[in-house]
Amino acid sequence: MAQHFSLASCDVVGFDLDHTLCRYNLSESAPLIYNSFAQFLVKEKGYDQELLNVTPEDWDFCCKGLALDLEDGKFIKLADDGTVLRASHGTKMMTPEALAEAFGQKEWKHFVSDSGMAYHSGKYYFYDNYFDLPGALLCAKVVDSLTKQNNGQKTFDFWKDIVAGIQYNYKTSAFKENCGIYFPEIKRNPGRYLHSCPESVKKWLHRLKNAGKVLVLITNSHSDYCRLLSEYILGDDFADLFDIVITNALKPGFFSHLPNQRPFWTLENDEEQEALPSLDKPGWYSQGNAVQLYDLLKKMTGKPEPKVVYFGDSMHSDIFPVHQYRNWETVLILEELRGDETGQSEESEPLEKKGKYEGPKAKPLNTLSKKWGSFFIDSISGQKNTDSSLVYTWSCKRVSTYSTIAIPSLEAITELPLDYKFTRFSSNNLKTGGYYPNPPLVLSNDETLTTK
């Protein structure tokens, strides 16, 4: 494979919406998501009202890449070889001694070393994106509450209530019905929760279109919510930017399922109307599958194998399935590349690498959790923090394995020429080459890091 990647060589540019094109004010959206679940658990399922009380310090628990064991209430952070680096029971971090007793140096019991490891199963759940993270804090506090109430309860069965909360607040009809907490609040005050798209991003999208690229929006958001978000961040004419808009895409299945498993549906007044045997023309659709989309892209580009790149923020829904099932190029939006963890300011970057960040920067909930440490690396439990004890996390390994490149936001690349050559992730660049504009400082300073 070529060492470099360029947008100029792509025929089609696809985008996720939430946390990719649409950036949220996380300090406001995270508590809103948390409350949408907590209120449901307390009012509808009889959970302790203490779940409604969240302190600023509580948010330090939130960290991408954690897995929750749904049976015993433990949260874990994995090394790239599947061993456990850190763990908590509920919000209570486990000591090195307790960690060694519970896990030793063995692979986590649910770990699968090859690419077949799922993000979600009936036994565990990985927290992958900023919609997920408030749920991690809530579930941890639920474990604390149940453990306290039931004198050290060892097994748990609360996940069905979390799923019920998802269904109540986020079902496809919730926006129209104005039900739950989340959608009514976003509708009332979108400016509190959403950042308008910077002018640099809007101009960049127009530049891509003017260069002859086919632009596609593929989002799991339902049609009505997608419309609200897109009109707010891009303007009333946002649909003119995209040749194809696909809502309620049900990713990751959109990329892995066959046409007969997941047909496209026409839409009228944001409601699904008719299942389509094939996708024959550009437009706005619901559900669907990447196989029929690609067939349409062949017709639109006039090429037997058009080259597609897809931008997304979720390894589970976007990057992994696009890479694994479609073999398209993938650009991961990784906000952990912002802020203190990079240790570098925009002013210190080479002029050619500067992105244009207009407006407020959407900070992650935590660029570096005090409880969980770096998203990228960690020390082996029980060993001093030396070069020989530092290892890549499982999450970091996934980034370099399945992403073409990783960037902190779209703004980071909007001022670059379309033929700019990005260095790809590859096995021979110490896992740092694909990060733009710079690798995280914790990685660039630790080039001796190897997999365990």
- What are the start-end ranges of the H helices in 290-345? 290-301, 320-321
Mean pLDDT value across the chain: 89
Among left, alpha and beta (phi > 0; psi -120 to 50; other), residue 415 is alpha
How far apart (Å, rounded) are the C-alpha atoms in residues 372 and 425? Answer: 25
Q: Is residue 116 part of a domain?
A: yes
Same-domain status, 115 and 153: yes
Q: Name which residue leads in pLDDT, 32 or 385.
A: 32
> What pTM did the predictor assign?
0.91
- What are the start-end ranges of the H helices in 257-388? 290-301, 320-321
22: which DSSP letter?
B
Residue 32 has what pLDDT?
A: 97
Same-domain status, 277 and 161: no
Q: Is residue 428 part of a domain?
A: no
Same-domain status, 205 and 225: yes
The pLDDT tens digits of the residues spanning 47-86 come to 999 999 999 999 999 999 999 999 999 999 999 999 999 9
Q: Is residue 450 part of a domain?
A: no
Domain boundary among 188, 222, 245: 188
Q: Is residue 356 part of a domain?
A: no
At 100 the three-state DSSP class reads helix
Same-domain status, 223 and 312: yes
Q: Name which residue leads in pLDDT, 177 or 368.
A: 177
Q: Is 50 exceeded by the pLDDT of residue 340?
A: no
Residue 361 has what pLDDT?
A: 44
Kindly name the residue from 11, 16, 313, 318 that is annotated as catalytic: 16
Overall number of domains in the chain: 2
Domain boundary among 161, 188, 215: 188
Cβ neighbours for 318, distance < 8 A, ≥ 6 positions apart: 16, 20, 251, 252, 310, 311, 312, 330, 332
Q: Is residue 72 part of a domain?
A: yes
R_g of the chain computed on alpha carbons: 22
Same-domain status, 180 and 217: no
At 85 the three-state DSSP class reads strand
Same-domain status, 39 and 97: yes
Annotation marks residue 48 as catalytic: no
Same-domain status, 13 and 38: no
338 pLDDT band (50/70/90 cuts)?
confident
Q: Is 90 exceeded by the pLDDT of residue 348?
A: no
Residue 203 belongs to domain spanning: 4-22+197-333
How far apart (Å, rounded) are the C-alpha atoms in residues 193 and 29? Answer: 6
Q: Exposed (0-12), middle (13-18) or buried (19+): which is 255, by Cβ within 10 Å?
A: buried
The pLDDT tens digits of the residues spanning 362-413 come to 444 656 789 999 999 998 865 555 555 889 999 999 999 999 999 999 999 9
Same-domain status, 223 and 113: no
Q: Is residue 44 part of a domain?
A: yes
Domain boundary among 144, 167, 188: 188
Annotation marks residue 69 as catalytic: no
Q: Is residue 70 part of a domain?
A: yes
Kindly name the residue from 18, 243, 270, 378 that is annotated as catalytic: 18
At 295, list the tokens: 């067939």
| Bridge partners, 392 (sequence order) | 377
Rounded to an integer, the average pLDDT of 7-28 is 97
Same-domain status, 46 and 160: yes
Q: Is 50 exceeded by the pLDDT of residue 257?
A: yes
Same-domain status, 100 and 118: yes
How far apart (Å, rounded) are the C-alpha atoms in residues 160 and 339? Answer: 36
| Bridge partners, 275 (sequence order) | 265
Q: Is residue 419 part of a domain?
A: no
How far apart (Å, rounded) are the C-alpha atoms in residues 398 and 320? Answer: 8
CATH number reported for the structural domain that contains residue 312 in this entry: 3.40.50.1000
> How far does Cα 292 stand from its chain's mean position?
25
Same-domain status, 180 and 235: no
Name the residue type at position 46: G
Torsion of CA 276, 282, 287, 289, to 10 degrees: 80
Same-domain status, 77 and 129: yes
